[in-house]
Amino acid sequence: MADASDFIDLRSDTVTTPSAAMRDAARDAEVGDDVYRDDPTVNELERRAAEAVGKEAALYVPSGTMGNQIAVTVHTEPGDELLLERESHIYRWELAGAARLAGVQTRTVDAGDRCVPTPEAVREGLVTEDLHRPGTGLLALENTHNYRGGTAIPTDRLDAAAAAARDAGVLVHLDGARVFNASVALDVPAPELVASVDSVMFCLSKGLGAPVGSMLAGDEAFIEAARRVRKLFGGGMRQAGMIAAPGLLALENVDRLADDHANAERLADGLDALSGFEAPEPDTNIVVVHTEGASIPAADLVDACADAGVGAVEFDTYTTRFTTHLDVDADDVDAALDRIAGAVEEL
């Protein structure tokens, strides 16, 4: 086992630790009671976050999961259907929160490698309320698409899916945990990329490097309702400026996401060169590697990597995820590749 300080942690972009500047900002933050809306740092963060995605207002929430679940709750009535992609984070990795918290039933669409359903698939998935059937209350989309390997979904595809829902009077939420990765990869300003959705959640605590928090953005009325649901979910925080201050600095980290994308490409190239490994070229900072060809189950690869001092996560039986971020550079990627190659030889 490599010593802890030498561990190259590619499990997720959530593992970054706050920079010295972020720690200083937290210590020096002007604060107040944010439930009374008295925290100037949180207020500033909410203003700047709304601007960053071109929406009227934004709300600071403790996590991306809470942001998504608040959006589902505000946009739907209990007993509605939530239409979403089969591999989406809200469906796969949020503990059935849509059912438990919002009281909605989920209906999934298989969008395959497109990651976002076609307008036809959306229309097919929409349900009109009648004596026997619930109505669709919300369509949720995801960009970048985590499970599909950080896919950056082009604006026109998002717009087409959103338009199909809106034509039927159904609102649209975007799980944009990594929407700035998509914006940088596609070279499309974030406000343009999310213009067709009613609400968007993005994480400050992933590639942008903040220690805590996500933002939920939409129009004023939506955010006012979201503020009440945040309180209901136990997410009303007091002197939250202490953690919002690093979030303000995180918003400055958008352009440097391009470095993470270049490092991910370097990592994918190296992994793809290993015998029996298949690592498609990543759009952004998530590298997915398939090892069925090498007959190495992901669980074994993850263990071997951990022993060699590289963090990764199992995605599926033969699929492993590596994620680049603010705390790893090209040299770390090269070192990680050396270690992985060595570990694989032993398997």
Ligand X SMILES: *Cc1c(COP(=O)(O)O)cnc(C)c1O
Give the residues lining the site for ligand X (CB under 6 A): 63-65, 68, 89, 142, 146, 175, 177, 203, 205, 214
203 vs 268, which CB is nearer to ligand X? Answer: 203
Identify whether the C-beta of residue 157 lies closer than 8 Å to the C-beta of residue 193: no
Cβ closer to ligand X: 144 or 196? Answer: 144
Q: Are 244 and 39 in contact (CB under 8 A)?
A: yes
Asked if residue 14 has a cis previous peptide bond (ω within 30° of 0), the answer is no
**Element containing residue 341 per DSSP (H, E):** helix 330-346
For ligand X, give the closer residue by CB, 137 or 176.
176
Nearest residue to the partner ligand X, using Cβ: 64
Q: How far is the CB of 213 from ligand X (least distance, A)?
A: 8
The half-sphere exposure of 214 on its side-chain side, counting CA atoms within 13 A, is: 26
Residues 302, 2: Cα–Cα separation, whole Å? 14
Question: Rounded to an integer, what distance in angstroms lies between the CA atom of residue 93 and that of residue 113?
Answer: 19
State the minimum distance, in angstroms, from the CB of residue 68 to ligand X: 6
Query: What is the closest distance, in whole angstroms, from the C-beta atom of residue 147 to ligand X in the complex?
Result: 8
How far apart are CB 204 and ligand X at their closest, in Å? 9
Nearer to ligand X, 113 or 130 (CB): 113
Report in angstroms how near the CB of residue 12 gets to ligand X at its nearest.
8
Instruction: Compute the distance between CA of residue 30 and CA of residue 46 in angstroms, rounded to an integer.
Output: 15
Q: Decide if 90 contacts 71 (C-beta within 8 A).
A: no
CA R_g for the chain: 20
Nearest 5°: phi and psi at 259?
-65, -40
CA distances from 86 to 7, 153, 196, 218 (A): 34, 16, 21, 25
Query: Minimum distance from CB of 88 to ligand X (Å)?
Result: 7
Q: Which of 91, 277 has the CB closer to ligand X?
A: 91
Nearest-approach distance from CB 114 to ligand X, in angstroms: 16
Nearer to ligand X by C-beta: 205 or 263? Answer: 205
Nearer to ligand X by Cβ, of 65 and 324: the residue is: 65
In the structure encoding, which two tokens stand for residue 126, read together? Answer: 């929409």
Give φ, ψ of 59 to 5 degrees.
-130, 135
